[in-house]
Amino acid sequence: MIPYMNLNEQVDADFTRARRRARLRAAVARLRRRKERASNRLLCFDDVRRGRLVAGNRPYRGTRVVEVDKIVGSVGRCSDFDRSFLPTRASIGEKWKRIGRAFHR
């Protein structure tokens, strides 16, 4: 946290910066004309499960720790974030900021 900003200003700046980065990444992906499977979009678990995207064999392997860099999808709100988990919609700003405040505290 930058010392001369109060907490609310800091989380507002963090969200604005994250949204800017998400828009820039989306623009670069469009310019490169990446195919669906290589795009910047976060995969939806339901699409993978229904067979729209090939997930391969899915044997049960128990509960394990997964590195954040290995996560490429989400259950539910996959359109709210990109593959780097940056916010793609301004509507999730309040939730993002609540989490930011809790993190800084």
pLDDT tens digits, one per residue of 31-66: 877 554 456 777 787 777 776 555 555 677 788 888
- Domain with 92, as residue range(s), is 7-104
Indicate the pTM of the whole model: 0.65
For residue 1, tell me if it sits in a domain.
no
pLDDT tens digits, one per residue of 79-89: 888 878 889 88
The pLDDT, as a whole number, for residue 15 is: 93
Tell me: pLDDT of 18 over 50. yes
The pLDDT, as a whole number, for residue 16 is: 93
What's the chain look like in SS3?
A: CCCCCCHHHHHHHHHHHHHHHHHHHHHHHHHHCCCHHHCCECEEHHHHHCCCCCCCCCCCCCCCCCCHHHCCEECCCHHHEECCCCECCHHHHHHHHHHHHHHHC
For residue 2, tell me if it sits in a domain.
no
Structural domains in the chain (count) = 1
